[in-house]
């Protein structure tokens, strides 16, 4: 917690300078950052009212009223008449659009100057990181989607799986296993018979799963995981459903998986997808006794 607090505060100090938050005149205009943001909202909304703008930006009602009066005096906005005298629709004028356009051009150029120094890969990393920051700190659930794997995904899956199992005491042996599974998947990949899916949210991996050819026309579900911050949103169920659907289309007779009795959340997902336990056995592969379970889902009669 303390590390997170320090990091967020340090980023805030950096970004207030980067974005010109402390400048009296934003991007060399006659507007403060707050005024420029208010003008942005007016330009991008249809007939907004002051209360709507105040709520969106979390500003004091009197402060918003004073800014709007200034905008009107400058000829940047016009106030209409609503059914309620206190809720007068606001329309941006041609002069207001010209004012906004000038600020927008300068803002875009300032950001472009900083971003163009980055290579294509770093720009993609920046986009993903900013999306993750927004999703994590906004308190809102960002949309997610499922895609097939691409370069770099399997190494990240192995890394995240290894880290997520540390609380169970499955450290080095589990990390070795994850590396072996992901390496074998990439080396021996069979298109049409094997696949890996990534659940992605705000540019970040929110979860993943693999299906591999286990022989005898059996598809094996492997390495299902969902990041702690993304749980409770149906991602695990969706990933397992992708595996089952793919296995049916590939013509497998059944899908098999190996899990452990202590992994309660994963077991609920498998049970919900129609899998059932066919055998259990205690093993010592991770350095201490653990009860492993084989689950199967028949795809043919």
232-267 pLDDT per residue, tens: 999 999 999 999 999 999 999 999 999 999 999 999
Residue-level pLDDT at 265: 93
Place of tokens 């998947």: 185
Mean local confidence (pLDDT), 139-146? 81
Mean pLDDT value across residues 9-33: 87
Look at domain 144-298 and name its CATH class. Answer: alpha beta
Dihedral angle computed from the Cα positions of residues 102, 108, 110 and 114, in that order, rounded to the nearest 10 degrees = -170
- Boundaries of every domain in the chain: 2-117, 144-298
What is the fold of 2-117? Arc Repressor Mutant, subunit A (1.10.10)
Q: At a CB cut-off of 8 Å and minimum separation 6, what does 11 contact?
A: none
Report the alpha-carbon distance of residue 18 to residue 159 in Å, rounded.
33
| pLDDT at site 82 | 65
Q: How far, in Å, CA of 91 to CA of 103, rounded?
A: 18
Per-residue pLDDT tens over the stretch 181-238: 999 999 999 999 999 999 998 778 999 999 999 999 999 999 999 998 888 999 999 9
Residue 108 has pLDDT above 70, yes or no: yes
Asked if the model's pLDDT at residue 280 lies above 60, the reply is yes
pLDDT for res 28: 86
Q: Average pLDDT in the 55-64 region?
A: 90
Instruction: Please tell me the pTM assigned to this model.
Output: 0.67
At 222 the pLDDT is: 97
Alpha-carbon dihedral sign for residues 191, 197, 200, 203: negative
pLDDT category of residue 79 using cuts at 50, 70 and 90? confident
Q: What mean pLDDT do residues 72-100 have?
A: 85
pLDDT of residue 204: 84
Q: What integer best gives the mean pLDDT of the chain?
A: 91
* Measured distance between the N- and C-terminal CA atoms of the chain, rounded to whole angstroms: 53
Predicted local distance difference test score (pLDDT) of residue 219: 97
Phi-psi region of 140 (alpha: psi -120 to 50; beta: other; left: phi over 0): beta
Q: How far out from the chain centre does Cα 242 lie?
A: 19
């Amino acid at each position: 917690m303390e590390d997170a607090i320090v990091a967020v505060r340090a980023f805030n100090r950096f970004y207030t300078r980067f974005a010109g938050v402390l400048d009296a005149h934003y991007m060399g205009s006659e507007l403060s950052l707050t005024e420029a943001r208010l003008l942005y909202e007016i330009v991008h909304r249809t007939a907004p009212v002051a209360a709507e703008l105040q709520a969106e930006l979390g500003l004091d009602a009197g402060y918003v009223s004073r800014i709007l009066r200034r905008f009107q005096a400058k000829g940047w906005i016009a106030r209409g008449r609503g059914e309620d005298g206190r809720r007068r629709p606001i329309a941006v004028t041609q002069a207001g659009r010209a004012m906004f356009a000038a600020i927008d051009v300068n803002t875009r150029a300032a950001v472009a100057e900083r971003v163009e120094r980055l290579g294509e890969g770093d720009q993609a990393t920046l986009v993903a990181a900013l999306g993750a920051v927004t999703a994590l700190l906004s308190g809102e659930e960002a949309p997610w989607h499922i895609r097939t794997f691409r370069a770099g995904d399997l190494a990240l899956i192995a890394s995240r799986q290894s880290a997520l199992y540390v609380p169970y005491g499955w450290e080095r042996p589990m990390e070795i296993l994850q590396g072996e599974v992901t390496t074998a998947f990439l080396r021996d990949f069979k298109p049409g018979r094997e696949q890996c899916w990534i659940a992605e949210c705000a540019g970040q991996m929110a979860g993943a799963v693999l299906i591999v050819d286990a022989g005898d026309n059996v598809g094996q579900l492997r390495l299902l995981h969902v990041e702690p911050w993304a749980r409770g949103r149906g991602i695990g169920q969706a990933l397992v459903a992708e595996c089952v659907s793919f296995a049916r289309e590939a013509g497998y007779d059944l899908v098999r998986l190996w899990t452990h009795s202590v992994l309660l959340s994963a077991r609920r997902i498998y049970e919900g997808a129609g899998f059932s336990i066919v055998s259990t056995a205690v093993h010592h592969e991770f350095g201490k006794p653990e009860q492993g379970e084989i689950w199967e889902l028949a795809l043919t009669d």
